[in-house]
Amino acid sequence: MNTFSEKVVKILAVALAGGGLYLLAAYEHGQRESIRRADVVLTPACIEKLARYGLESGEYYQSPYVLQRTGAKLATRGYADDDIRAIKRGCNIIDDTQGKLASDPDRERWNTRRFIRGTHTACRHCHQSVGDKQDAAGNRLVGSLNLGASWTMADMYDRFTGLLLPFELRQMQCYINSSNGYKPNIADDVIRDVTSYSRFLSVALDMKIANRYDEQGIDEIPASATPKQGDDYVRGEAIYRQKCESCHGPQAFGRVDPDGRLVAPAIAGPNAWNMQSRNYFYYVSTILPGFICRNMPLGQENTLPNQECRDIAYYLSNLPRPAGDRQGPIIALRQQVLMKVLPPLLRATGSARGKAAAAKSDSGE
């Protein structure tokens, strides 16, 4: 009898634990569904972007951008309210990944912060103008990491991973490396909503599946596209001080205004991309220079010569940053130590250099 009641208690405990888990899962599922059905409050950049592309529910969709530029009245399948909300949420995630503009980031951005280490990263830092960068005349810019073009070119062979890389997996890599964070599930709403937004961009810009577009990805700059002076750390630092420091800060740790709002993202230090990111010069030496040349400084894109972009990229990649998932614990520890030790040292030597320069100029030398 004693053994029997013990068994009953055990069975009841297991049943209770299973039932509890089921109820928790049902509750979470219900919460997600309620978020999917909730109205979406757009960020200012998304309001502008989606209004420009005429996103509305209806049986057919016609892109005002395509109509204006080509005169073609291309009707594609329209969007249901659920689709519209997914596209809006995706746009918000690109523009405000960490939910700094949201009243409830956990609900409005699917708590995207849980996949990101650090406080600086947002998708729009690389995918500028909410993933669709254009000049004043509405021309899409070469090498501007357009998300619509990325969608049309997804599933192609990726030389870095050796995979036929789906769009969803590419997003997961961004979270792991560019955001130095964690991988969302492939079916997570975080991923699906960004895919929906990217697909909408591809329709709004009339992009065809698997065609090549100049605005897709980076316009990479290899050493062979320079006068072959060699990539120079010292030259890179000098150009950084001249062209980049005013926004990204003296040690490239980014800049935050007094209200805590991010002015410019970190491009080195604990909030920056890690050593497994394709932006890391020692991993891929052509991507960051390409990004700098085509997208920086803001408002003066395409003004830096190729060699200067490579020099800046080389300099930046010598500053301490987190290790990636393939570097192992020793390198990770080294990077953590460097990120603790170097900043005060550089501050001290930087201020000493500043004082020496000021003394030099005071003495009229």
* Total binding residues toward other proteins, as defined by CB under 8 A: 35
Q: Are 146 and 132 in contact (CB under 8 A)?
A: yes
For other proteins, the closer CB: 192 or 294: 192
For residues 241 and 249, give the distance between their C-alpha atoms in angstroms, rounded to a whole number. Answer: 9
For other proteins, the closer CB: 188 or 301: 188
Residues 6+ positions from 53 with CB-CB distance below 8 Å: 63, 64, 65, 200, 201, 204
Q: Is 282 in the site for other proteins (CB under 8 A)?
A: no
CB of 6 to other proteins, least distance (A): 11
Q: Is 216 in the site for other proteins (CB under 8 A)?
A: no
CB of 84 to other proteins, least distance (A): 9
Tell me which of 53, 79, 280, 281 binds other proteins, using CB under 8 A: 79
Q: Is 171 in the site for other proteins (CB under 8 A)?
A: no
Report the candidate in 243, 151, 156 with the shortest Cα–Cα distance to residue 195: 151
Phi first, then psi, for residue 164 (nearest 5°) are -80, 100
Residues 6+ positions from 50 with CB-CB distance below 8 Å: 42, 87, 88, 91
Tell me which of 43, 146, 202, 276 binds other proteins, using CB under 8 A: 202
Q: CA dihedral in degrees (227, 232, 237, 242; nearest 10)?
A: -10
Q: Is 196 in the site for other proteins (CB under 8 A)?
A: yes
- Binding part of the chain for other proteins, among 48-56, 205-213, 246-254, 350-358 by CB under 8 A, reads 205-213
- Binding part of the chain for other proteins, among 14-22, 172-180, 192-200, 343-351 by CB under 8 A, reads 192-200
Q: Is 286 in the site for other proteins (CB under 8 A)?
A: no
Give the ranges where 213-305 is alpha helix by DSSP (H). 233-239, 245-248, 287-295
Instruction: Note the residues at the interface with other proteins (CB under 8 A).
Output: 60-61, 74-83, 86, 151-152, 155-157, 164, 166, 186-187, 192, 195-196, 199-200, 202-203, 206-211
